[in-house]
Amino acid sequence: MKLTRRDFLESSLAATVVICAVPPAGAAAGQAYNLELRPGTAQLVEDRSVLTNIWGFDGKVPGPVLRVKQGQPLSVTVTNRLEQPTSVHWHGLRIANAMDGVPGLTQEPIAPGETFTYRFTPPDAGTYWYHPHQRAWEQVARGLYGALIVEEDSAPDVDHDMLVIADDWYLGDDGAIDEKSFGNLHDWSHAGRMGNILTLNGKPYEHLEVASGDRVRLRLIGTTNARVLQLAIPNLRPWIVAHDGHPVTPYLASSDGVELSPGQRTDLIVDVPGKPGDKIPIVELSAGDKLVAGYIVIGEGTPKARRTTATPTALAANPVTRPAAVADQTVNLTMTGGAMRFLASAQFKGEQLDGRTLALDHGQTWAFNGVSGMPASPLFTTRRGETINLKMRNDTLWQHNIHLHGHHFVELSRHAPGGDGARTVTTDRADAFQDTILMQSDEQSEISFVADNPGKWMIHCHMLEHQASGMATWFEVT
């Protein structure tokens, strides 16, 4: 499925400037929120007469921005006004297991009409997000997601703190969500369900209004089901200051922009020069074309003096324990299956089944270590505080995007495929803590983390169709 846009970077830009209000940063000081998951409508396409029926937190997409200070308790009372059971997962937060929102592992699903209160204290500052963990492949695709911002004790010196939540939608010509593609086994066994419409913050062409000379923090969040986005601001020179919530030593983003796989976050700080009325495009490059995703717009006002400090100072590190140099346990995680390398057989719910039965009777087309879907027993069990090295192999022809719950890891090494043994490649996230990692076909990656959060935690592919069709497991910290 190809993304379509009216605006390409090379095309002449539209004459009329539409400036939308952007909610002020830090507006909500409270630490208690109520959220309703319910149907709503959103204007996802440019034609203002077309509204799309979505499911959203408080009926909106994205849902309300939740803000809390690092180390402060937060409570979110969630009411399910949908016709199916649900749950809410706080992606990337290292919180108590009972609050992790995984039905069947950490809680019962929240039935229609029921309420559940999540209470937790985020230990790490940064950019996170929330989304259902029940039929996520449908519920997230219909619009159920929002940003959760954990504020640093001392915020960086910026004039704006803005969200850029990027999503693709699969809409029909009438602007309605294509429902018949939900559960499509072809998508599940290939790259996942791809959209044809791109939105930033739930809008067809988001306009982020700043003043000339402003320094802006942009929090990029990828909420696609499966598409790996590549976002860039070609006219500006943004610094990358954090990945997956965790500070990195600021470095300039390459002109290729920032890769944002499903669930990943990247924080940018960027200085915006220019004159009132300038529209600076934010583009999406994954398809090779420069599709305009939205704009930074310079509003009226006297330009500020340029900042004197060139590079922004690094954000304070979060209290994550570095893994030990020698692991207490090394665990293998081998991914198999999918189109063109279909599973011959795999275990599913304790039974060994052939690939055809797995796919046609159970919708399972992928496996971790020869097991499709959530196994009854954990991938591994560890005592609290142990360093775990996870040696992952993607033996499929497709990309996968592995997400670890309740913990953050560092990547130790990456091996690209190659006939004469492996070539080590480094990624720009090397050494940074992260919770979601993209792997290419036939790559190997070794990640390491301290299992210091007691409970039962999922590991899964965050390409949500892959998760649903086999790529899910869990581990237990005792």
Contact set with ligand C2O (CB under 6 A)? 89, 91, 131, 133, 263, 403, 405, 458, 460, 462
Q: Which does 400 bind (CB under 5 to 8 A by kind): ligand C2O, Cu ion, none?
A: Cu ion
Contact criterion met (CB below 8 Å) for 17 and 297? yes
Binds 236: which of ligand C2O, Cu ion, none (CB < 5-8 Å by kind):
none
**Could you tell me the smallest distance in angstroms from the CB atom of residue 142 to ligand C2O?**
16
- Supply the minimum distance, in Å, between the C-beta of residue 372 and Cu ion: 13
Q: How far is the CB of 388 from Cu ion (least distance, A)?
A: 21
Complex with ligand C2O: residue 215 or 462, whichever CB lies closer? 462
- Per partner kind, with CB cut-offs from 5 to 8 A, the member of Cu ion, ligand C2O, none near residue 466 is Cu ion
Residues 353/371, Cβ–Cβ less than 8 Å:
no
- 243: partner contacted, choices ligand C2O, Cu ion, none (Cβ within 5-8 A by kind): none
By C-beta, is 94 or 131 nearer to ligand C2O?
A: 131
Nearer to ligand C2O, 91 or 160 (CB): 91
Question: Considering the complex, what minimum distance in angstroms separates the CB of residue 131 from ligand C2O?
Answer: 6
CB of 457 to ligand C2O, least distance (A): 9
Report what 463 binds from ligand C2O, Cu ion, none; CB cut-off 5-8 Å by kind. Cu ion
Q: Which residue of the chain is nearest ligand C2O when measured via CB?
A: 91
From the centroid of its chain, how far is CA 115? 25
Q: Shortest Cβ distance from residue 140 to ligand C2O (Å)?
A: 8
Nearer to ligand C2O, 229 or 280 (CB): 229
Partner that binds at residue 405, options ligand C2O, Cu ion, none, CB closer than 5 to 8 Å by kind: ligand C2O
What is the binding site for Cu ion (CB under 5 A)? 400, 461, 463, 466
Q: Are 422 and 391 in contact (CB under 8 A)?
A: no
